[in-house]
């Protein structure tokens, strides 16, 4: 009898959660949400399964997700296996002619298809792409600190999201590998966050969710700041509060906002169902940044 009562309470709690989500489901009906997946969600099979299920649920609720992924650790593993030395300048990978072939193989191949397969296994219809398809992302050669040559590393200069909109108008979920094409047809490796920010700006996305392995942007006391303006981000960076690996994240957020995205959330991808918490609950799951 006690077990039956406990189960009944659980079902009631589930129903209450669904009911409380209604305003947020209405708010994001038809919204374009660009999601950069990396870190914990990509490295753990159980986390990947939960993430894929959440993405399928979002699509079922008429949210239009566009996924962009990274794959740095997988690239490093393959380069090591093939005996190709990895070299970094200012934290950025130098990608020579030999390395770019491996980068494309890993990103467009094993990493991209693993995400596609995970979503399809949950009943979704995911399609794998890269920024080379339909000349989605055209790049110039990116330079490192002090003008250092990084090889085939690109900076998006033109994004044509038409092919992505075609998928969003259907039942398909695009999963994008961060590769671009140069003016002369060269293949360029793009930082995953940079690629996601460029896509979000070009699509005027309602949200860009940057999944990370940290809780969000923190203040001087180490507490997560749930909402910030772009000016506050700049001030915290000048004060040295935003530092280290968080700086590229916030720079991506500011560029996306200035390019046309409505808001960016730096979100803790280690938290179960982080994307659903951010979109469909009052609680949220990270640091939201607006202009």
- The reported pLDDT for the residue numbered 72 is 86
Instruction: Give the pLDDT confidence of 169-218 residue by residue, as tens digits.
Output: 888 999 999 999 999 999 999 999 999 999 999 999 999 999 998 889 99
228/60 Cα distance (integer angstroms) = 30
Q: Which residue has the tokens 């671009």?
A: 180
Nearest 5 degrees, angle CA 23-CA 69-CA 103? 175
Nearest 10 degrees: Cα torsion 252, 163, 60, 198? 0
Q: Which residues contact 9 (CB under 8 A, 6 or more apart)?
A: none
pLDDT at 148: 86
| Boundaries of every domain in the chain | 29-290
Could you please state the CATH topology (level 3) that the domain comprising 29-290 is classified under. Answer: Carbamate kinase (3.40.1160)
Six-digit token string for 91:
């934290």
In sequence order, the 6+-apart residues with CB closer than 8 A to the CB of 91 are none
Q: What long-range pairs does 142-148 form, CB within 8 A, spacing at least 24?
A: 142/92, 142/188, 144/89, 144/90, 144/92, 144/94, 145/89, 145/90, 148/89, 148/90
Closest CA to 194 of 174, 180, 204: 180
E strand intervals along the chain: 32-37, 64-69, 87-89, 92-94, 126-130, 137-143, 149-159, 173-177, 179-182, 187-189, 207-212, 227-229, 264-268, 286-290
Helix axes 97-104, 72-81, angle to 10 degrees: 120
Q: What is the pLDDT of residues 261-288, one digit of tens each?
A: 999 999 988 888 999 999 998 877 889 9
What pLDDT does residue 236 have? 96
pLDDT, tens only, 43-56: 788 889 999 999 99
Give the integer Cα–Cα distance in Å for 177 and 174: 10
pLDDT at 2: 55
Per-residue pLDDT of 141-159, as tens digits, reads 998 878 888 999 999 999 9
């Amino acid at each position: 009898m006690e077990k039956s009562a406990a189960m009944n309470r659980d079902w009631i709690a589930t129903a209450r959660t669904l009911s409380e989500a209604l305003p947020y489901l209405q708010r994001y009906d038809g919204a374009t949400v660009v999601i950069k997946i990396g870190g914990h969600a990509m490295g753990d099979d159980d986390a990947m399964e939960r993430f894929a299920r959440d993405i399928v649920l979002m699509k079922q609720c008429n949210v239009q997700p566009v996924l962009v992924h990274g794959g740095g650790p997988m690239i490093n593993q393959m380069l090591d296996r093939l005996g190709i030395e990895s070299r970094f300048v200012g934290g950025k990978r130098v990608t020579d002619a030999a390395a770019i072939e491996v980068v494309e193989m890993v990103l467009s191949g094993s990493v991209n298809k693993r995400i596609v397969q995970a979503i399809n296994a949950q009943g979704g219809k995911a399609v794998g792409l890269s920024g080379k398809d339909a000349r989605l992302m055209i790049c110039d050669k990116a330079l490192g600190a002090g003008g250092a040559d990084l090889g085939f590393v690109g900076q998006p200069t033109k994004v044509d999201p038409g092919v992505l909109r075609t998928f969003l108008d259907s039942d398909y979920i695009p999963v994008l590998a961060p590769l671009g094409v140069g003016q002369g047809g060269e293949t360029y490796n793009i930082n995953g966050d940079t690629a996601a920010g460029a896509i979000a700006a070009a699509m005027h996305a309602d949200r860009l969710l940057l999944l990370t392995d940290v809780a969000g942007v923190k203040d001087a006391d180490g507490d997560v700041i749930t909402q910030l303006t772009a000016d506050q981000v700049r001030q915290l960076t000048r004060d040295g509060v935003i530092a280290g690996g968080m700086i590229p994240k916030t720079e991506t957020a500011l560029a996306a906002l200035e390019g046309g995205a409505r808001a960016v959330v730096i979100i803790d991808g280690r938290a179960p169902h982080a994307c659903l918490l951010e979109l469909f609950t009052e609680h949220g799951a990270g640091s939201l940044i607006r202009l």
